C-alpha cells in the first residue's frame, strides 16, 4: 500500500464542519465584544490546560498563506510554544516565525507582545477560566444572569477585598476589564501590565477556552477599561531596573534565579523583543557576561 | 402616612403539585408597619414569604408594590432585571441561617459594601466608611471589619446580615425566623436592636416566626397560619391577649411560662 492511500489529516487538523462551527462562534463573539459564546469544543491531541481552546480558534482561522507565531509567557522557545508551532507546521504546513511584526496570527499563552500589533494581525489567547465572576459566584446559571443583567457589583467586591487585605489592588493577572462599556471580561491570565494594550488595539483579539467551551473576542478599536475604584485607580506593574540583557525599560520582566546564593536577574519576558534589541546593539547590565560565556 | 399601602397582596396561592403551600392569602402592608406571620412548622409561612419576595412564583394571585415614584407595580409583571434591582436596593431579605444571606468568604466590610457597589458606588474610602458605620449600628466592633463572617459568632453573623440588608436604606424588609438558632440572651439583644432600627428608619417589615415573643415585641399586626390558610389576623396585642380561633388559643396557651 502506498502512502497516498493512507488517510491524512485535514488542513489544520480539524474537519471542515468543525471549523465552520467555530467560525460561527467567533463571528458571534466579534459581534458582541466581551460576550462568552458557547461552542462545541473538540478533543484535541493535547491535555486541557495546554491551550486546547486557543489551538481550535487558530485552526479555524488559519489559512495556507498565514504566518504563525506562538508564544508562551512571552517566550517563543518554551515547551508549549514549540509544540503548538510544530503541530501547525505538521497539520497545516504554514509558515512560522518568531518575529512579532511578520506574524499574521499570534497564539499566546498569558502575554501580549511588547511590539505594538497592527491592523490585519490576530492575537489568539489561550484561556483557562473564561468567567471573571467564577471565584465569587460558583453557579453558572447565576453568572450568566449577572452578565445578562449587567450586575457587576460583585467584581468590585473582589477588588475591595484586595484593598482591605493588602492596602492596594493586589490582583496582578487576569485583571477584570469592561469591554465597550458593557461586558466584564477576563483577559485570560495575562499580567495586568498588558491590559492597556488591549484598549483600542488595531489587531483583532480572540479568546478560546477549550475545557470551558467558550469563545469571546475583542474586535479592533474597541474600548477595554480595567475596573478600579475612584480612590484606588488602576495601575500597571513597574520595575525598578531595566532588562539585564537588552536594557529595555517599560517592558514586562521575568525574574530568573541564577544561583543558590540569592543571585537573580530580570529579563524581558518577550524573547523576540529582547533579541531584536540585542541585535540592534542595546546592552543591559549582564549582557557582556552572556557573550563572554558563549 | 399615605393613603396607599406599600404592599397589596390579593389571593396568593402556591401549590406544590397537589399539595398546598399557602392558599388565598390577602392583606395590605402599610408604610412603617411590621407584620408578623406566625404558625407551626409546615403551616406555609415561609412559602408565603418567598412568594411575596419573588423568590417563588405564586400559582395564582397578585402582589403589588408601591415603587418610590408612587406607582403601584405588579411584581409578577416586572422584568427580572427590575425585580433583582428592587431586591438589592428597596428590599432586604434576612435569612434564618446567616450563611445563606452572607458571603462567607469575603470580609464583613465587603459584605456590607456589596449592595453599595452593586448600585454603582465606586469610591473605596466612602464604601468602607459606610460599612464601618453600619457595623457600629448593629453593635459589631469596627476593628472586625476585615474579618470574615466565618470568624463571627451566630449572633454577630445575624447582625451582620441585617446591616448588609439595611445599607441601601430599603423600605421593606423580609425576615425569615431572624432569631432562630440563637440563644435567649442573644435573641433579646437582636430583638432590641431590630426594634430600634425599624423605628429609626421607618421600615416596613414582614417577619416570619414561630416564636410568639418575637411577634409580640416587634410587630404591630399579626397573621396566624395553619395548613396554608390564614386563620386569624389582627393587631398583635388583640390576637395574643384575646385569641378567637381554637388553634390560636392553643398556640398562645402553649407558651412556656417561666
Q: Please give the pLDDT value at position B257.
A: 66
Reported ipTM: the value is: 0.85
Q: Which of B117, B129, B135 to mutate to test the interface with A (most CBs of A within 10 A)?
A: B117
* pLDDT, mean of residues A223-232: 95
Which class does domain A16-226 fall in? alpha beta
Q: Which residue among A153, A154, A229 sits closest to B124, beta carbon to beta carbon? A: A229
B114 and chain A: CB distance < 8 Å anywhere?
A: yes
B17 and chain A: CB distance < 8 Å anywhere?
A: no
Partners of B115 on chain A (C-beta within 8 Å) are 153
Is it the case that residue B46 has pLDDT exceeding 70?
yes
Q: Which of B115, B119, B122 to mutate to test the interface with A (most CBs of A within 10 A)?
A: B122
Give residue A294's pLDDT band: very low, low, confident or very high (50, 70, 90): low
Q: Please give the pLDDT value at position A289.
A: 54
* pLDDT, mean of residues A175-180: 96
Q: Please give the pLDDT value at position A293.
A: 56
What does each C-alpha distance from B146 to B59, B112, B160 come to in angstroms?
43, 11, 13
Extract the C-alpha cell encoding B150.
466565618
* Euclidean distance between CA atoms A10 and A16, whole angstroms: 8
* pLDDT, mean of residues A278-290: 79
Cβ distance B145 to A164 less than 8 Å, yes or no, reads yes
* Euclidean distance between CA atoms A100 and B44, whole angstroms: 67
Q: Which single residue is written with the C-alpha cell 520595575?
A: A239
Active-site residue, A274 included: yes
Cβ distance B84 to A151 less than 8 Å, yes or no, reads yes
Active-site pick, A54, A268, A278, A284: A268
* Euclidean distance between CA atoms B40 and A180, whole angstroms: 53
Is residue A66 a contact partner of residue A94, using CB atoms and an 8 Å limit?
yes
Q: What is the pLDDT of residues B69-117, one digit of tens each?
A: 888 999 989 998 999 999 989 999 999 999 999 999 899 999 999 999 9
Q: Please give the pLDDT value at position B40.
A: 87
Q: Please give the pLDDT value at position A164.
A: 93
Cβ distance A230 to B109 less than 8 Å, yes or no, reads no
Give chain B's domains with CATH numbers.
7-102+175-254 (3.40.50.300)
3-state helix, strand, coil in chain B (%, to 5): 40, 25, 35
Is residue B146 a contact partner of residue A165, using CB atoms and an 8 Å limit?
yes
DSSP class of A157:
H
Active-site residue, A53 included: no
Give residue B210's pLDDT band: very low, low, confident or very high (50, 70, 90): confident
Q: Which residue among B106, B114, B122 sits closest to A229, beta carbon to beta carbon? A: B122
DSSP A177-205: EEETTTEEE---S-BGGGHHHHTT-SSEE
Cβ distance B106 to A231 less than 8 Å, yes or no, reads no
Q: Considering Cα of A19, then A36, then A172, then A135, what sign does the dihedral take?
A: negative
* Euclidean distance between CA atoms B31 and B1, whole angstroms: 7
What does each C-alpha distance from A142 to A175, B127, B255 come to in angstroms?
21, 25, 42
Extract the C-alpha cell encoding B181.
438558632
* pLDDT, mean of residues B50-66: 93
Q: What is the mean pLDDT of chain B?
A: 91
Active-site residue, A281 included: no
Q: Please give the pLDDT value at position B110.
A: 94
B55 and chain A: CB distance < 8 Å anywhere?
A: no
Q: Which single residue is written with the C-alpha cell 487576569?
A: A174
* pLDDT, mean of residues A120-149: 93
Active-site pick, A34, A51, A74, A210: A34
Per the model's pLDDT, the better-predicted residue between A1 and A266 turns out to be A266
Is residue B72 a contact partner of residue B10, using CB atoms and an 8 Å limit?
no
Q: Would you list the domain boundaries of chain A? A: 16-226, 253-293
Amino acid at each position: 500500500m502506498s502512502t497516498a492511500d493512507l488517510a491524512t489529516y485535514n488542513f489544520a487538523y480539524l474537519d471542515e464542519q468543525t471549523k465552520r462551527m467555530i467560525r460561527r462562534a467567533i463571528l458571534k463573539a466579534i459581534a458582541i465584544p466581551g460576550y462568552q459564546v458557547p461552542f462545541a469544543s473538540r478533543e484535541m491531541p493535547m491535555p486541557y490546560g495546554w491551550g486546547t481552546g486557543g489551538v481550535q480558534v487558530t485552526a479555524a482561522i488559519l489559512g495556507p498563506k498565514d504566518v504563525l507565531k506562538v508564544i508562551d509567557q512571552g517566550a517563543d522557545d518554551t515547551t508549549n510554544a514549540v509544540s503548538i508551532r510544530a503541530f501547525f507546521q505538521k497539520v497545516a504546513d504554514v509558515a512560522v516565525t518568531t518575529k512579532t511584526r511578520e506574524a499574521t496570527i499570534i497564539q499566546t499563552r498569558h502575554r501580549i507582545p511588547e511590539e505594538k500589533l497592527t491592523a490585519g494581525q490576530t492575537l489568539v489567547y489561550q484561556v483557562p477560566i473564561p468567567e471573571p465572576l467564577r471565584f465569587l459566584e460558583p453557579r453558572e446559571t447565576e453568572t450568566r444572569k449577572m452578565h445578562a443583567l449587567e450586575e457587576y457589583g460583585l467584581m468590585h467586591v473582589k477588588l475591595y477585598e484586595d484593598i482591605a487585605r493588602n492596602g492596594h489592588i493586589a490582583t496582578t493577572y487576569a485583571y477584570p476589564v469592561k469591554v465597550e462599556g458593557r461586558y466584564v471580561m477576563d483577559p485570560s491570565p495575562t499580567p495586568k501590565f498588558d491590559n492597556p494594550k488591549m484598549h483600542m488595539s488595531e489587531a483583532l483579539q480572540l479568546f478560546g477556552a477549550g475545557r470551558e467551551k467558550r469563545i469571546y473576542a475583542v474586535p479592533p478599536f474597541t474600548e477595554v477599561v480595567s475596573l478600579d475604584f475612584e480612590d484606588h485607580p488602576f495601575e500597571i506593574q513597574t520595575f525598578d531596573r531595566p532588562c539585564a540583557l537588552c536594557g529595555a525599560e517599560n517592558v514586562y520582566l521575568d525574574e530568573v534565579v541564577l544561583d543558590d546564593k540569592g543571585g537573580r536577574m530580570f529579563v524581558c519576558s518577550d524573547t523576540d523583543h529582547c533579541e531584536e534589541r540585542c541585535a540592534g546593539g542595546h546592552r543591559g547590565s549582564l549582557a557582556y557576561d552572556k557573550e563572554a560565556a558563549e | 402616612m399615605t393613603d396607599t399601602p406599600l404592599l397589596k397582596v390579593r389571593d396568593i396561592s402556591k401549590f406544590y403539585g397537589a399539595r398546598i403551600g399557602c392558599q388565598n392569602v390577602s392583606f395590605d402592608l402599610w408604610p412603617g408597619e411590621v407584620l408578623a406571620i406566625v404558625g407551626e412548622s409546615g403551616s406555609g409561612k415561609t412559602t408565603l414569604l418567598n412568594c411575596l419576595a419573588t423568590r417563588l412564583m405564586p400559582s395564582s394571585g397578585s402582589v403589588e408594590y408601591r415603587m418610590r415614584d408612587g406607582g403601584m407595580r405588579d411584581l409578577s409583571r416586572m422584568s427580572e432585571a427590575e425585580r433583582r434591582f428592587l431586591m438589592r436596593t428597596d428590599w432586604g431579605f434576612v435569612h434564618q441561617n446567616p450563611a445563606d444571606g452572607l458571603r462567607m468568604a469575603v470580609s464583613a466590610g465587603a459584605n456590607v459594601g456589596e449592595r453599595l457597589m452593586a448600585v454603582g458606588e465606586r469610591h473605596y474610602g466612602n464604601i468602607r466608611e459606610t460599612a464601618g458605620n453600619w457595623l457600629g449600628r448593629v453593635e459589631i466592633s469596627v476593628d472586625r471589619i476585615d474579618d470574615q463572617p466565618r470568624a463571627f459568632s451566630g449572633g454577630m453573623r445575624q447582625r451582620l446580615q441585617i446591616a448588609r440588608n439595611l445599607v441601601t436604606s430599603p423600605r421593606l424588609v423580609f425576615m425569615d425566623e431572624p432569631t432562630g438558632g440563637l440563644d435567649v440572651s442573644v435573641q433579646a439583644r437582636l430583638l432590641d436592636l431590630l426594634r430600634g432600627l425599624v423605628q429609626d428608619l421607618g421600615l416596613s417589615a414582614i417577619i416570619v416566626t414561630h416564636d410568639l415573643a418575637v411577634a409580640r415585641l416587634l410587630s404591630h399586626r399579626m397573621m396566624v397560619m395553619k395548613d396554608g390558610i390564614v386563620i386569624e389576623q389582627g393587631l398583635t396585642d388583640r390576637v395574643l391577649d384575646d385569641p378567637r380561633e381554637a388553634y390560636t388559643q392553643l398556640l398562645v396557651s402553649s407558651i412556656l411560662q417561666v
